[in-house]
Structure 1
């Protein structure tokens, strides 16, 4: 029913001439969807499901996660519970299993009931499947800001955009099964409280002798960089060869260096960092917020209407071949 309502809303907006949705250029999908692999075009399908992302799917997910109904997704709130159920249903529909007994990893370092959502896709190689990638983003935000006319901090860019990216990447791999290594798709809670969800899970997995190759995190990817010759930057750029390897795999300058990220030490300020601390393996965050292209960080103005859906589709569809190559390389080429 929700999918039908969203589709109706899109048609209604277009019929009424709403400029905001027209700017997303939903009909022009093929011009921004790259080839997934050398031998498989954007039209590749599995059981009728188009595997690559498109603006309709991104809009559907974003418009729910950043809606007023979720009340800003504060950790431990009724709003984030709705987000959790939505993500769990997306995983179920696309062949992503729970890693633990359920999708929910209840964190032990927060006073309210809060949990990470952890999905699992086993690798298809008998040996490489013993090694794991983690693809993550935080799905919580700051809730409400009293004293303003619009009190809901919807958190569209921060970080419904990263959450949507992970959900869409999971949809691709869940349907294509093109991963030799196993993958965890993780949406973290309580990032805004001090990386509590990722700290909890990193410690738990380390205690279980989890065999982690690399952790790739997505944070604030809803608007494009300005005046850059690369699509995304990565935090901790100089600490590993991730950018070099990613660019080699994708045969383009997908990842670049943002001096501001180093200046503000963003490497330590997102959910990649606890995995670096616990596992000492390349654990880094992809981002397209450059401190000049978005003025609504932790404000009520972080609304879905400001998101560039074409840009997000580009981020997702160009991340897929990068992640596929990382999951399938015979050796661990990404190193500190």
Structure 2
């Protein structure tokens, strides 16, 4: 398996570096982050999405330019059935005062973006995906989910079989190592399918333990989920006690990179039967 800790550290450290200046939407820092992700997709040799001429899906937010970064791995026997792996690469930018002014966003959500890149490399090397896989780094999640909104409006929800949105996997979950939770677990059989594929491992996916926070409809999976797609977010964030959430202290040094690597491996293994066209998760009841 090509998912290794050294690669995870390399990607995570770059995305959460000070030179990215907190990756605020519209900033020079987010342009640096976009270029880095685009280059990673180029090295992996992913295809372009839809009619795009490169990896950038460009659009305007209230007259200002923004872009998602998208790469595609075409499916072999079911190319018109899509599985999405996504994360948001934007964060909060710079604080106005203080010794440390940079919101590095190592966990939120450089960790998820790192996972998307690592999974793209893994599936490209594996070369056995029957369904088409779309890898997306969304922009503007922190200011209203504009990137996922724009992308979702371009997609026919009936063609999307599943969406793995990955958000904050850099710290241990409330259950400790080798565990994560899935938002909206009870809404489809997505979670049970993933867990079935992990029966030979010691990794466990759990139901979202923070139901009052409505996490299922608070991340980039929400737009497609509302249209019936089994679009779920995988996370380990302890939303009640996460010490560095939305703080300048959200830095790489606070992450458990060994555990994060194991989570990415678990996502890779757990998704195999969906990628290969064997399992098709049930749909979310439309809102």
Q: Does the TM-score normalized on the shorter chain lie above 0.5?
A: yes
**Any gaps of 5 or more consecutive residues in structure 2?**
none
Q: How does 1:46-61 map to 2 (within 5 A)?
A: 51=2, 53-61=3-11
What displacement does 1:110 show?
A: 4.2
User: Is the contact between residue 108 and residue 200 of structure 1 (CA under 8 Å) also seen in structure 2?
Assistant: no
Partners of 2:251 and 2:218 lie apart in 1 by 22
Q: Name the SS for the 1:101 alignment partner.
A: coil
Residue-by-residue CA offset, 1:213-262 (whole Å, 9 max, x unaligned) = 111100000011133586110111111111111101221553101331x1
> For the residues of structure 2 that align with 1:333 and 1:216, how far apart are their CA atoms?
12
Match status 1:217 vs 2:169:
no
| Higher mean displacement: 175-184 or 248-257 | 248-257
Query: Where does 1:108-123 land on structure 2 (aligned, <5 Å)?
Result: 108-123=60-75
Aligned to 1:170: 120
The equivalent of 2:37 in structure 1 is 87
- CA separation in 1, counterparts of 2:158 and 2:185? 25
Q: Does 1:306 align with 2:248?
A: no
Q: For residues 176 and 14 of structure 2, what CA distance do their matches in structure 1 show? A: 30
CA shift, 1:289, in A, is 0.3
In structure 2, the CA distance between the partners of 1:312 and 1:250, relative to structure 1 (3 Å rule), is same
Give deviations 1:81-101, integer Å, cap 9, x for gaps: 111111111111112122122
State how 1:191-210 maps to structure 2 within 5 Å.
191-206=141-156
The answer to whether structure 1 residue 263 and structure 2 residue 212 are counterparts is: yes
Alpha-carbon separation, structure 2, partners of 1:236 and 1:85: 33
**For 1:37-86, what per-residue CA distance to the aligned partner results, in whole angstroms no more than 9, with x for missing partners?**
xxxxx4xxxxxxxx2x1111111111111011000000111111111111
- Aligned to 2:268, the other structure's residue is in SS state helix
Q: Is the 8 A contact 2:178 2:262 kept in 1?
A: no
Instruction: Show the counterpart of 1:325.
Output: 273
1:237 — aligned with what? 185
Conservation of the 8 A alpha-carbon contact between 1:137 and 1:159: yes
In 1, distance between residues paired with 2:48 and 2:147? Answer: 17
Deviation track 1:110-147 (CA, whole Å, cap 9, x = no partner) reads 4321100010110111xx22100110000000101112
Which of residues 76, 81, 106 is equivalent to 1:131?
81
Residue 222 of structure 2: aligned partner: 273
Structure 2 CA distance for aligned equivalents of residues 77 and 310 of structure 1 = 31
State the Cα distance separating 1:334 from its structure 2 match. Answer: 4.0
**Per-residue displacement from partner, 1:145-194 (whole Å, max 9, x unpaired)?**
11222111000000000000000000111222121000100000000011
Instruction: Indicate whether 1:282 and 2:230 are aligned.
Output: yes
Contact 2:8 2:114 in 1 (8 A): yes
1:101 and 2:40 correspond: no
Deviation at 1:293? Answer: 5.5
Structure 1 stretches (4+) deviating beyond 6 angstroms? Answer: none
Measured in 2, the distance between the counterparts of 1:232 and 1:331 equals: 21
Q: Is the 8 A contact 2:86 2:138 kept in 1?
A: yes
Q: Is the 8 A contact 2:95 2:101 kept in 1?
A: yes
Aligned CA RMSD, in angstroms, stands at 1.7
Deviations 1:292-332 (A, max 9, x none): 55311111000111111101110111111122221113352
Q: What number of residue pairs does the alignment pair up?
A: 280
For 1:151, what is the secondary structure of its paired residue? coil
